[in-house]
Amino acid sequence: MSSATLASPKINRPNLVAVGTIVWLSSELMFFAALFAMYFTTRAVQGPGIWLKSTEMLNIPFASVNTTVLVLSSVTCQFGVFAAERFQFKRSASILTFSKWGMMEWFFLTFLMGAFFVGGQIFEYFKLVHEGLSISSNAYGSVFYITTGFHGLHVTGGLIAFLIVLFRVKKARRFTHSQATTAIVVSYYWHFVDVVWIALFSAIYLIK
């Protein structure tokens, strides 16, 4: 009997970093579930009158554009993951040749799109406060700023994570499996905040 036959089969163990990230995101999901419960409970207690009056102040076309940018950033982020999986950390051709982009180009574009979303959210806050809807105006103002504000903080955290990944890759002598894993884990988080925002956008802007 050959040594190959006697050799035990190789066991592919799950990556501990990825597993830990998924467990952590599960706890984050419970946190946002609590925010959704707060939003709909407050809405049921206050009645539809204050909600109808307050939602009329929302700029749905602007929020839709902002949401589209954030959703598309998940696409660019995933392209960055594909590049990381083939250990291509930077572009191999002209910057206009998108098919030759590496992880750094795709992640930097994702960062810009995420920053655009956060900037748009801040602009919307200033506009609503100027029109008389602040966090202390009424119950709607409180739940609106709390739910969207906490999500904005999570997006900002994702932007910081992208900067850390880009900085580490830029300073490293070579792109390793560990760096590729870190990029993939960051993508998990980014996809998560995107999905949460789709739910928030639907609940706050579309369901009146």
Question: What digits encode the pLDDT tens for the residues 72-94?
Answer: 999 999 999 999 988 887 877 77
Give the span between the Cα atoms of 8 and 71, in whole angstroms.
Answer: 45
- In terms of residue numbers, what domain contains 42? 16-206
Question: What pLDDT, on a 0 to 100 scale, did the predictor assign at position 175?
Answer: 76
Q: What is the DSSP letter of 156?
A: H
Question: What pLDDT, on a 0 to 100 scale, did the predictor assign at position 61?
Answer: 95
Residue 108 within any structural domain of the chain: yes
pTM (2 d.p.): 0.85
Helices (H), 47-138: 48-55, 60-85, 103-130
Both structure tokens of 195: 């999905």
Q: Where residue 72 sits, what CATH number does that domain have?
A: 1.20.120.80
Residue 192 within any structural domain of the chain: yes
Give the span between the Cα atoms of 103 and 88, in whole angstroms.
Answer: 6
Quote the Cα angle for 94-97-99, to 5°.
130
The stretches in the chain having pLDDT less than 50 are 1-14
Lookup result for tokens 């993951």: 81
Quote the Cα angle for 66-130-57, to 5°.
55
Residue 185 within any structural domain of the chain: yes
Residue 4 within any structural domain of the chain: no
Residue 126 within any structural domain of the chain: yes
Enumerate helices (H) and strands (E) in the chain, giving the number of each.
7, 0
Give the span between the Cα atoms of 83 and 78, in whole angstroms.
Answer: 9
Cα dihedral: 11, 84, 154, 63 (round 10) = -130
Residue 5 within any structural domain of the chain: no
Provide the domain count of the chain. 1
**Inter-residue contact 114 to 162 (CB < 8 Å):** yes
Residue 195 within any structural domain of the chain: yes
